[in-house]
Amino acid sequence: MSVGTPYQVYLVDDEITLLELLKSYLENAGYDVRTFQTGEEVLQVLDDQPPHLWILDIMLPDIDGYELLRQIRSKSDVPIIFISARDQDIDKVIGLELGSDDYLAKPFLPRELVIRVQKLLQRTYERKPVSLPAPPYQDWTVVGPYRVSEKGRLVKEDDRTIELTTKEFDLILYLIKNRGQALHREQILAAIWGEDYIGSDRAVDDLVKRIRKKLPKFPLETVYGFGYRLTAP
């Protein structure tokens, strides 16, 4: 996925009138918009190059937005905005815990959605990298049975390359540069998602679960009630 102009936005909603209205506003703001009305249409493109951002309705006629969010998150960590006619706190909480980056309850002004899209894209793709105090280290760093290359953004076990999303690798690198330190969840959120991230810190736990599944021998400890620590060699 390349970051350039215009950003590509995938918009999912079964209300055709609203779909066309939001598409018009987003295109007028300079975005390349592709629309979908069903979950099945979304599933057909999940193995393709992902967009820069998803806008996803919870209530669809075939597959609900929660399941689609899980499917999208299994493929990539591009930002997702949930929209829903059910203005309930539980929907917002569930969406954020499953990995959405923002939530907007219907009815809303199309202009508000455009502003949220702008801010989320800027935060994700245009923010300056977090400055992390760290000593100079070699291109390959050994962590347990794994070798990590910052320059190549690779993690290898023996000769096997382990496929990781952008945020999974970012967190691994952040942990390595702060090896031995107990890192609070809020500290990790700021470093990986940005200082103005508004979602739940459960996003950190979800990211850690994905890393542990892909790298079961990665020496990452849970500091209960606080956060996580990569054990020192």
- pLDDT of amino acid 138: 45
Distance between CA atoms of 121 and 54, rounded to whole angstroms? 11
CA-based radius of gyration for the chain: 19
- pLDDT of amino acid 107: 84
Q: Where are the domains of the chain?
A: 8-126, 140-230
CATH domain 140-230 topology: Arc Repressor Mutant, subunit A (1.10.10)
Distance between CA atoms of 51 and 208, rounded to whole angstroms? 24
Q: Please list, in sequence order, all residues whose beta carbon lies within 8 angstroms of the beta carbon of residue 6, skipping any fewer than 6 positions away.
A: 30, 31, 32
76 close to 68: Cβ distance less than 8 angstroms: no
Nearest to 93 by CA among 228, 205, 201, 210: 201
Cross-strand bridge partners of residue 12 = 36, 56
pTM of the predicted structure, to 2 decimals: 0.56
pLDDT tens for the chain, 233 residues: list them.
Answer: 444 457 899 999 989 999 999 999 999 999 999 999 998 999 999 888 889 999 998 888 888 778 888 888 888 888 888 888 765 554 555 555 556 678 888 888 999 999 989 988 888 887 544 444 444 444 788 888 999 988 888 899 888 899 888 889 999 999 999 999 999 998 998 888 887 776 677 888 989 999 999 999 999 999 998 999 998 66
Query: In the CATH scheme, what architecture does the domain 8-126 have?
Result: 3-Layer(aba) Sandwich (3.40)
- pLDDT of amino acid 128: 46
- pLDDT of amino acid 127: 58
- pLDDT of amino acid 130: 46
- pLDDT of amino acid 208: 93
